[in-house]
Chains A and B, each alone.
Chain A
Amino acid sequence: MKRVIVFIPFAIAIAIGVFALWGLRADRDPAGIPSMLISKPAPQFDLPSVEGVSVPGFSTADLSGSGGPVLVNVFASWCVPCKAEHAVLTRFAEVNNVTLFGINYKDLPEDASAWLENLGNPYDRIGSDLDGRAGIEWGISGVPETFIVNNEGIVTFRHVGPILSEKAQKQVLAALRDAGLTGENT
């Protein structure tokens, strides 16, 4: 009995050490917020098109039934990382044949249309979320954020921040394929 008791502090120290090591893992993001939407239907919203941009706006109903997954990207012309991400999204749309919808978050239509004219428009539809209400429905904490909605209208994936690193791009493409992406030009 005595012998066991002697080892208790040692065991507690080891337990605390293991917990600390777990907390220090490189891939752990203590500020990350898990999305409530994963495996749930996409939220209800209805966004008009951006004035001066040729593609239409979209609502919840437009996300499902297109025969494949939709990549929903929240972006804004005032968002610098979005500019960096834009090239990746363009490649996804052109090379991987991804259906790409954009939520133009709290952006002036003239700024957004100038931005898209300058960089090119890879989006099939763009909804204007001037007051940021649709953003709240999606539970975003910043821009850019990207979601994957499958053909049944269920959200299967969320990426916070720009899709830039090799790892992030692979993750998104893998998630798109899991959600039923076909017709990629390889």
Chain B
Amino acid sequence: MRLRNMRAALASLLIMMLPFAAQAVEPDEILDDPVLEQRARVISADVRCVVCQNESIDTSNAGIARDLRILVRERLVAGDTNDEVFAYLVARYGDFVLLRPPWKAETYILWLTPFAIMGIGGASILVMLLKLRSKKAAGGNRLSDEEEVALDAILGTKSKGTNL
């Protein structure tokens, strides 16, 4: 019974993974040279489809995505390096066409903000912890000797060492 559940869980997990394996490359686009084709796939996965904007051209079925896939392969066959292919596309569509924003002056904020926020958060937690520790080191919540005496006087007992 348990095994069957496991199997069902695994199967549904695999089905849920299917969209990640999706690709739109059609047979007539694929290059004969498997090395170039592999490079084309790697490049296409990082190129944004300009119509369906949050998809790469590797997974998009839009007409212009197909045109760009064929163009990428043509550039590779013509002997371009991967960087030259990206440069060719950026010259026409701008940095927008890259799914991975480049590291340059305009994108410093984009890349650095998460680290800055993490730094601020980390620093705040550190300061809080340090404060807590110094408070404990200074006697914490134990009563001082004078307070003990005063408390005894109020309660009228002679108990020793309250641990409040």
Contact = CB atoms under 8 A, between A and B. Distances in A.
Nearest to A132: B67
Interface residues of A, number: 18
A139 B92 contact: yes
B92 A33 contact: no
B92 A36 contact: yes
B89 to A, nearest CB: 9
Contacts of A183: none
Interface string B29-58: 000000000000000000000110100000
A72 to B, nearest CB: 15
Interface in A126-172: 131-133, 135-142
A34 B97 CA distance: 11
Contacts, number: 40
B109 to A, nearest CB: 11
A136 B94 contact: no
Contacts of B93: 33, 36, 139, 141
Given A132-B63, A136-B67, A141 B94 contact: no
Most chain B beta carbons < 10 A, residue from A43, A137, A141, A142? A141
A11 interface: no
Given A33-B93, A33-B94, A34-B96, A141 B50 contact: yes
B68 interface: yes
Interface residues of B, number: 14
A37 B92 CA distance: 8
Most chain A beta carbons < 10 A, residue from B53, B68, B71, B93? B93
A140 B64 CA distance: 9
A136 B68 CA distance: 8
Interface string B57-101: 000000110011001000000000000000000111110100000
Contacts of A106: 63
B94 A36 contact: yes
A142 B94 CA distance: 16
Interface of A: 31, 33-36, 43, 106, 131-133, 135-142
14 contacts: A33-B93, A33-B94, A35-B94, A36-B91, A36-B92, A36-B94, A132-B64, A133-B71, A135-B67, A136-B64, A138-B92, A139-B93, A139-B94, A141-B64
Interface of B: 50-51, 53, 63-64, 67-68, 71, 90-94, 96
